[in-house]
Amino acid sequence: MNKCNITTVRDNILTSINNSYGSMDQYINVWASTNEIFLYGYTKTEAEYDGIKQAAELLIRNGGCEDVRLDTCHFYKSPPPTGHPILLLSGSACGPGYKKCGSICIPDDEECFIKSRK
């Protein structure tokens, strides 16, 4: 059985999102703690949401990380309503306690793994 390298699994999830969903990678941040991987952001459709979630679960299992939990509490099947803290405000700013990460806002204490597009 593979030994779990949660950083590698996180990076593989980010690559999978980029390769399979193109510009959606600007709306989904993926970060990891010792025993959890977090999807944070949103998709445009339920099919995209399901595909990304299933791919992440598979990459976690295939990475030997069966004990790692996938947290989707802040991963949405469609864009949240106006005023939601995950959404950028006018002028591409974020509300108090949040910072810009790609095309979304994430909590100030989380790391951004969305790569800027050129």
pLDDT in tens, 82-104: 889 999 988 789 999 999 999 99
Q: Is residue 56 part of a domain?
A: yes
Helix (H) or strand (E) holding 117: none
pLDDT category of residue 115 using cuts at 50, 70 and 90: confident
Paired strand residues for 41: 28, 75
Is residue 113 a part of any domain in this protein? no
| pLDDT confidence of residue 118 | 42
Q: Which residue range(s) make up the domain with 53?
A: 6-107
State how many domains the chain has. Answer: 1
Is residue 48 a part of any domain in this protein?
yes
Q: Give CA 99 to chain center in angstroms.
A: 15
The string of pLDDT tens digits covering residues 15-71 is: 999 888 877 779 999 999 989 999 999 999 999 999 999 999 999 999 999 899 999
pTM over 0.85, yes/no: yes
In a domain, 11, yes or no: yes
b/e 47-86 (16+ beta carbons within 10 angstroms → b): ebbebbbebbeebbeebbbeebebebebbbeeeeeeeebb
